[in-house]
Structure formats: C-alpha cells, structure tokens
Structure 1
Amino acid sequence: MSFPLSSRTSDSSLLVAHGWDEGWAAVFEPYAAQGLVPGRVVRVDRGQCDVATADGTVRADTAFVTPHDPLRVVCTGDWAAVDPEGAGDPRYVRACLPRRTAFARSTSSKRSEGQILAANVDHAVIAVSLAVELDLGRIERFLALAWESGAQPIVVLTKADLVPDPVGLSYLVEDVETVAPGVQVLPLSSATGEGVDVLSAVVAGGTTVLLGVSGAGKSTLANALVGEDVMSVQAARDVDGKGRHTTTTRNLFVLPTGGVLIDTPGLRGVGLWDAEAGVGQVFSEIEELARDCRFHDCAHEAEPGCAVAAAIENGTLPVRRLESFRKLMRENQRLVAKTDARLRNEIRKDWKRTMAAGRAAVEFKRNGRLR
C-alpha cells in the first residue's frame, strides 16, 4: 500500500529537501489528525530546537518530549510533530516520530549513560586527518558505533594534500581498508577539492552524519559539501594536529546535490554503547574464523583447535586486530553489565567459578589432592 507524501500535511519542497517521504507521511497520519505539522529538527540547544517545516524553520520548545532516558531526548535529525502556526508562543514539539536509525555513544560520566548524537542517518562519514599518525584503534571504534546505528559507514581521509607522494597515500588507504571491511575509504582534500565530488555523489539523497575528533577537518569538509561557509573553521595545532571545538552543536544542512548533512562537535571520547553487533561487523574476519574453532565458546587464547590462533600463527590475522577486538568486546560487555542485571550476575558467577578453579589448582599443587 502506498501513501502520498502528505495527507493533511504539506508536501512542500522544503520538507522533501530535508528527507520527507511516503514512509514518514504514513507514520505522521495520527499527528496530522490532531492538527500538528511535521518538521525535521535541525538544531537543539538547551530545551529549544529549530525545526524545518513546510513554512520555514521555526523555534520550538521541547518541554513536552523531555524523557528521563537520555537516548530518547530530541536530537538533530529527528522528525517531530509541532504545533501549527498561530497555536501560541512558544510553539511546542508534541512528539517525535520513531527513529529509523540512531547514532549513540556512551558518555564519560560514571553513570554510564548513553548519548544520542544524530537520528535517522543513512551514512556515517568518519573523518580521519592525514596530518597526524593514523590511530587504527579509534577508527575501529567509530566504525563499530556506525555499524551498530544502522547507518552505512564511510571513512574519509582528510587533508590528503599533505601527503604529496601517491604511493605513500595509497599505503595509508590500504592500512585503513584492513580495519574497515565492507567500508569505502576515500582520501580527500577540502583545500584542493580532491575527492569532494566523489563523496558528494555517494551521500546524495540521504542523511549523512559527519563524525571525528577535533582537528579532523569536519567543519571545512562540511563547508565544501554544502557549497558555502556554514561552519566556522579554526586551524589545528601544528604540534599534534589537534583542533579546538569550533562546532559546539549538531547542525543539519541541506546539500546542493540532494540529501542533508549533520555536522557534529569533535568527539574526545568514543565510548561504545551496546555495540556488540557493530564490533562483530568491524572484525568480521575474526567472526568468520571463529566459526571454524573446535569449541563454540572459544576465547581464542590457548584452546586446542582454535582457528583464530592458527591465523595469528600463520600471519593471516594481525595480532593487533585480535587485541583490539578483545578490548572492544570487553569494554562493551562491561557497559552492558552496568545496565543489565542479569548479565552482571552471570559475569559475577563466571568470576567466582574462575576464582574457585584457581584456588583448587593451588590446593592440588600444594597437597596433591583436591578438596
């Protein structure tokens, strides 16, 4: 069954430019019946948000949709049901439509809360600066979160003009490709324009979130994609290539080639948030090898018949990849355990069994017998 782009809601080009389609129109029907109007959240700031509607961008209050769960707060990229014009001042966001995808990470707080960075995203562009040494572990973290969100990741190696040697640049691309299976890796220079048209074509027609640490060149890239200086830019420090937080909010822009772009502030920390499937996607070669291990619960350490250990031994799997895989899986398990009492209890039981086995081994070594 198909639905028109609007039924009692506007099908204006402004809504369509922001990603409105038949699916969103169908979901919005109950809110249209209440006289509310649809709009896309383009910016959120302290309980207020800017919403692009059929009649232009309006300022709206989020007091009616402020849940206790930080992963459900109004976020840039959300589609919202807003009071119609003339309903009063201020206008309010009355509801947000269910998200198709959501990019989330854990916060740095000790409460281990999640933080939603962008909603309803089709592509996650991970900006990595070639002005500094590649941090493959950080790239793997970003990729895990991107895959977990439901978006298609793309790794963009910015400032490619700083690597004039084509051979050296190709080696850097290959290094990143080894940690990004199934992901396009694109060297790009916003200064010279190299690769910008390729990226524009890839992300046209959908919603793209731009991610990376400060100094990765995100704001410069956003300006290049949008075709005008919509974001202010500051130079990165020469000593370490780090930048200052030029972008302080998440902003959504319409792209001239079609689709929209969400620019985000530089991320100091890239904490996982319930991203086991995403980690598995990033390390798909390890997941594939593990299927051939003798034991289904193989820890890939000293077990006999371990296909992963065999791959390490023959050099087909780098040790760094396995160590990174273990690190991210442990981190994700700890995070989930903090919010999942059942899993926390299972981990505690495993720890007690391990301790008991250790004590039994010591007893046997001392006395030649088990208790």
Structure 2
Amino acid sequence: MNTINMKNLGLTEELILESKQYKALFIGRVSSQYKNSFKVITENGDIAAEISGKFHYGAKGLSEYPAVGDFVMVDRTDNSQGNGIIHHILTRKSVFARKVAGSKEELQIVATNIDTVFICMSLNNDFNLRRLERYLSIAWDSGAIPVIVLTKSDLCKEIEVRLNEISSIALGVDVVVTTNTADEGYQSLKRYLSSGKTVAFIGSSGVGKSTLINCLLGQNILDTNGLRNDDKGRHTTTRRELIMVPNLGIVVDTPGMRELGIISADLTKAFADIEKLASNCRFNDCTHKNEPNCAVQRAIKDGTLSVERLESYWKLKRETKYEGLNSKMIEKEKINEMFSSMGGMKNARKFIKEQYRKKRR
C-alpha cells in the first residue's frame, strides 16, 4: 500500500508536535462533510469517519465540530473494521466562516487551515463591488491571504474599467483575470499553488469556480454550470470538498455564497483607505458624518473616496457590532447610537415621551 505524505496535505511540524499528546491516535485531514459523516484523508488513504460521543457532548456549537480542512485525531487509518472515530481537532491556523442563515449567533465554518482564499467573481452579470468588499473583510479576518480571481473575461468588454474599480477597493490584494474559453486562461492561478499549501475557492454560484478547479486537475471531476438568465447561479457544488492537485497542494471547492452573513471581519485591511483617512480626522471617535474637520468627508467632497464605499464600510461595521445580539438588544443599541449625543437610551425615552405629550396637546 502506498502511503500518503501528510506534509503534502499541509501538515506542519507544529501540528505533529501537538498530535503527540494524543496517544494511540492518528492524524488525518477532513476532506468532506455531510451532516454527521466525514471523509478523512490519512497516511493510508481516505476513510469514512464520525465524531465520538464525548466529542459530540462537549461541542457547544457548529463551529466546534470538524470542518473541511481540519486536521483531526482519529482512531484508525482504514475502514476494515468500521468507520473511524474523530476524537480531537488540532489547532486551526485560519478559519473562513460565515453566519448561519436565519441565526444571529450560530457560526458556519466554510473551511479551515487555508493559506490563500480565491475570491471568484464573474466579469459579466455577477460583478458587484459591495459584495467583493464583504468577501475581502471576512477573508482578511480568517487569517488567510485573499486573491481576487475575475472569471469569464471573454464576456466583458470593459475589463480595464472593472480593474480600475477593483483597484480602488482591493488595496494590497492581487487580482487575476481568467477565462474559461482558452486553455491558458487558468495558468496564472498556478503560482499561488504549491505542495503543502491549501487554496479555497469562494464566490457566488455559477461564476466558474468548479471549472477552474477542473482545469487545474486536468480532468472534469466537478460538475459545472453557468449563470441563469436571471443572473442567479445554479448550485452545482452542494458541499465543501478538499481535493488534491498533483504537485500543487490542495484546493477546496465551496457551494456558491451570494449572500455572506458576517460574524467578524477585518475592516482595517479591507478598508485600509478609510482607516488611513480616519487617522487624520480632528476627533479620535469621529463617525465621519457631521463632525468638523473630518478627513473622510473631505475625501468624499474631493472625489478620492466614493459615497458607496463609505456606506459599505458603515454597513459592515454595524453588522459586526450587532452580531450575537437578539432583536431587542439590537434595537436598544441602535437607539443608543441614534441618541448618543443626548445620553443614550435614557434620554431617548425622555425625548420620545416629550414628543408624545406634544402630540396630545
């Protein structure tokens, strides 16, 4: 039996050292997940696995369960005597996560131990700068390095215009232009891949993530499909999957995510231009709205910063501030913010009562 060199899968000396505290267990890496079942790559190949009862009992939320990309400790390296049992998750070096739909507190792990995040966006109908800002904020926060991958360049007649728009918001981020119609259209991605490194493909459905991965693999392993006529992608990838690329490390294909709920975000990097401008404001706690000598508002007036970008910054800042609060708590925070100059909630109630009395007169 040919053994797999786990270092080619991203296993580091730090993880090997950490694993030594778990006796009689073996290192594996989660390659896919479906409900409570996992596929784990071990030195002897793929095995089916599930978590132990103790693990399940101790987990406090979805984020504490194994996710695609995790290095885990399992009790076997083959399934000759049944499914493997996952007992521990080794320390994650990066976590790309999003808010679970319909929940204010639950976190869904998209992928872990990612070195580079390819944020894929089509140059035709899917192009959306505000969504790109959202992806960048989460990518920077994950601990991985974001790279913007623009797909379907053959369908765009304004590539230079698009690139200029992106350069105004993606500060310090590499941008790669690809096409699905030419064999060399994906070659520029290869410089980000190498043995032991993991790259995750993130983006809306139908933008060409699976097509690019198939090109890197040299064969059609993943189902592909395009954008529908209504500009919404078809969901060809239904679950996250970790795939080995010969001599080029690991890639992770993810389901399309048109809406990306934020749990936490790194706005200092995603909005480095606004943060830099803010350092020149007169007041340290400047909200960049009505304060005198506001450097951000000055940049809006002279055209070096767009109103849309500032509004996007405010929106993401509000989301991260309110994350984890229930509706009543969020409403209280909003009122406190609205009446901050008047003393917060207490004076807000007083103000509302006075307005009510005036109406009664």
Distance 1:144 1:316 in 2: 21
Question: Counterpart of 1:16?
Answer: 7
- Residue 83 of structure 2: aligned partner: 90
8 Å CA contact 1:274, 1:336 repeated in 2: no
Contact kept? 2:237, 2:254, Cα under 8 Å: yes
TM-score (ref. length: structure 2): 0.88
2:300 alignment partner, one of 312, 324, 327: 312
Unaligned runs of 5+ in 1: 1-10
> Which residue identity does 1:55 align to in structure 2?
N
Match of 1:227 in 2: 218
SS of alignment partner, residue 220 of structure 1: helix
- Contact persistence 2:104–2:324 (CA under 8 A): no
Match of 1:68 among 24, 41, 60: 60
Match of 1:109 among 102, 111, 118: 102
Q: How does 1:319-334 map to 2 (within 5 A)?
A: 319-334=307-322
CA pair 83-234 structure 1, distance change in 2 beyond 3 A: same
Query: Secondary structure in 2 aligned to 1:26?
Result: helix
| Counterpart selection for 2:34 from 37, 45, 67 | 45
Measure, in 2, the Cα distance between the counterparts of 1:56 and 1:221: 25
Pairing of 1:1-371 with structure 2 (within 5 A):
13-31=4-22, 34-64=23-53, 65-66=55-56, 67-85=59-77, 88-132=81-125, 134-163=127-156, 165=157, 168-205=158-195, 206-237=197-228, 239-275=229-265, 278-338=266-326, 349-350=336-337, 353-354=343-344, 356=347
The 8 Å contact of residues 4 and 42 in structure 2, kept in 1 or not, is answered as no
Q: Secondary structure at the match of 1:260?
A: strand
Distance 1:361 1:233 in 2: 56
Q: Give the deviation of 1:122 after TM superposition.
A: 0.7
1:212, 1:35 → 2: CA distance? 40
CA contact (8 A) 1:173 1:186 kept: no
Secondary structure at the counterpart of residue 311 of structure 1: helix
Alignment identity in percent?
35
3-state SS of paired residue (2:20): helix
* Matched pairs, number: 346
Structure 1 residues 113-145: Cα deviation after superposition (integer angstroms, max 9, x where no partner): 111100100101011012315211101111111
1:5 corresponding residue in structure 2: none
- Aligned AA (1:260): I
Shift of 1:197: 1.5
* Alpha-carbon distance in 1 for matches of 2:240, 2:317: 29
How many Å separate the matches in 1 of 2:244 and 2:258? 27
CA distance in 2, matches of 1:363, 1:296: 33
8 Å Cα contact 2:214/2:222 also seen in 1: yes
User: Structure 2: any 5+ residue segments left out of the alignment?
Assistant: none
Distance in 2 separating the partners of 1:182 and 1:115: 27
Amino acid at match of 2:42: T
Report the 3-state secondary structure (helix = DSSP H, G, I; strand = E; otherwise coil) of the residue aligned with 1:105: strand
Q: Distance in 2 between matches of 1:175 and 1:148?
A: 23
User: What TM-score do you get using the length of structure 1 for normalisation?
Assistant: 0.86
Cα distance in 2 for residues equivalent to 1:264 and 1:101: 16
Relative to structure 1, the CA distance from residue 362 to residue 219 in structure 2 (aligned partners, 3 Å threshold; closer, same or farther) is same
Superposed CA offset, 1:61-113 (max 9, x none)? 12443323111111000001111257942220111101011001111114431
- How many angstroms apart in 2 are the aligned matches of 1:243 and 1:318? 29
How big is the shift at 1:348? Answer: 6.3
* Cα drift, residue 349 of structure 1: 4.9
2:16 aligned counterpart, secondary structure: helix
Cα deviation 1:304-323 (Å, max 9, x = unaligned) = 11111111111111111111
**C-alpha displacement at 1:25, in angstroms?**
1.0
Higher mean Cα deviation, 105-114 or 38-47?
A: 105-114
**RMSD of aligned C-alpha atoms?**
2.7
Equivalent position amino acid for 1:46 in 2 = K
